[in-house]
Copies of this chain bind each other. A is one copy, B any other.
Amino acid sequence: MRKLKVAMIGGGGSGSFFGKVHLRAVSLDGTREVTAGVLRHDPKAALEAAEEWGIRGFPDIATMVKAWKAGDVELDYAVVTTPNFAHYAAAKSCLEAGLPVLCEKPMTLTVAEAESLAKLVKKTGLPFVLAHTYTGHPMMMFAKTLVADGAIGEVRKAESWYNQGWLATALEKTGQQQASWRTDPKRTGISNCGGDIGTHAFIAATWVTGLAVRKVSARLNIFVEGRKLDDDFNVIGELSNGGTALITATQIAIGYKNDNGFRIYGTKGSLEWHQERAETLLVRRGTADETYWIGAGGYPASVASYLRAPSGHHEDFFEALANLHTTMERLIRRRNGEEGIPEPFAHPGVEEGVAGMRFVKAAVESSKKKGAWTKV
């Protein structure tokens, strides 16, 4: 089986961590490989980084897609993993050239950009996957299928959260790169905490339940003095079926590494999942609590087809992200007419990206209006 060739856009900076994360997620299965890229914004730095990575470097995206169109380089899709502000232009360039895109989240800087991108994806019909990594966890995929199958009845309430502590102090003043661009409105947009991790909580509440958030009442806080964007994000939302969503995120929870998770309460049962214990899903619907384990069965074929390891051997962060690449791979191979390719899972795409952008925008507005209910 021919390996898919992947181009990486961004991710080559010395302080970047997601570039290498995607490299590993692409490489893991031995069916895809990163072979080219525009790893940094500065053309010279981009070429140097590519050499260091051992891939074919391009000084900019335009040059790369041109080379691809000219048959000068073989590419199957691009990964966009630049800082937020550059997502839109990068994704746009690829899509316009006909190259499928797997894009980091938040999808764009503004709702307008997001909507424009959605139109482009629709027009081109190209595969587009949004890198909501945690949705690649098999137990989160399993949760989605359980809700869809009615296992917990009608959803009444969704609680989702994302607690981190790394921005509890003014880390950005130390020059730490991740902290610097995330707290800078120019590079990050209107929300730091909401956009960076609140969107993950949003996806947990909506993607798993298959529901939208219709309106929100929010309180965003800036706890660290001198910061310009929120580092704490609290939203009560109304779901499209009339239910309630409680979506919170914080970066000032000292000692919490990556405490992302959700609880979904339905008329017949409940689901609970924690990213820091990603391998188990807790289902409550009878006398005993049920704990499902990755690799130990119970989930449908749509989930099972993504698993790599036997029972008890966990797959975690890299494998979850690799699953999004697998979805992209399946979309592309099926599009290419390859046979025997399993069905791709319904991972988040451009529509979820638009919804996430609108959600953050509504939350920011509601918070400014002292929590007034605001339409998403």
Contacts and interface: CB of A to CB of B under 8 A. Distances in A.
Contacts of A23: 30
A290 interface: yes
A276 B295 CA distance: 12
A120 to B, nearest CB: 30
A227 interface: no
A291 interface: yes
A63 to B, nearest CB: 23
A232 interface: yes
Contact of A284 (B255, B258, B265, B287): B255
Interface string A178-205: 0000000000000000000000000000
Interface string A286-327: 111111110111100000000011111111111100000000
Given A17-B310, A257-B311, A2 B288 contact: no
Contacts of A3: 54
Nearest to A319: B318
Interface in A128-170: 152, 156-157, 159, 163-166, 168
Interface string A265-291: 111111000011111000111111111
A29 interface: yes
Contacts of A315: 316-318
Contact of A312 (B257, B289, B293): B257
Interface residues of A, number: 89
Interface stretch (A244-252, A330-338, A341-349): A244-252
A255 B370 CA distance: 35
A266 B254 contact: yes
Given A217-B217, A313-B317, A315-B316, A156 B252 contact: yes
A278 B219 contact: no
14 contacts: A2-B54, A17-B309, A17-B310, A30-B33, A157-B252, A217-B371, A254-B266, A254-B285, A259-B312, A287-B298, A288-B291, A309-B318, A314-B317, A315-B318
A21 interface: yes
A372 interface: yes
Contacts of A297: 287
A311 B258 contact: yes
A223 interface: yes
A17 B309 CA distance: 8
B370 A373 contact: yes
Nearest to A286: B255
A49 to B, nearest CB: 12
Which has the most chain B C-beta neighbours within 10 Å: A269, A312, A319, A371? A312
A236 B29 contact: no
Given A152-B254, A157-B253, 18 more contacts: A17-B310, A20-B30, A24-B30, A28-B318, A156-B221, A168-B267, A219-B236, A219-B244, A236-B371, A254-B265, A254-B269, A255-B285, A256-B284, A257-B295, A258-B310, A258-B313, A308-B318, A315-B316
Contacts of A1: 52, 54
A87 interface: no
A137 to B, nearest CB: 10
Nearest to A53: B30
A234 B2 CA distance: 48
Contact of A316 (B33, B255, B259, B316): B316
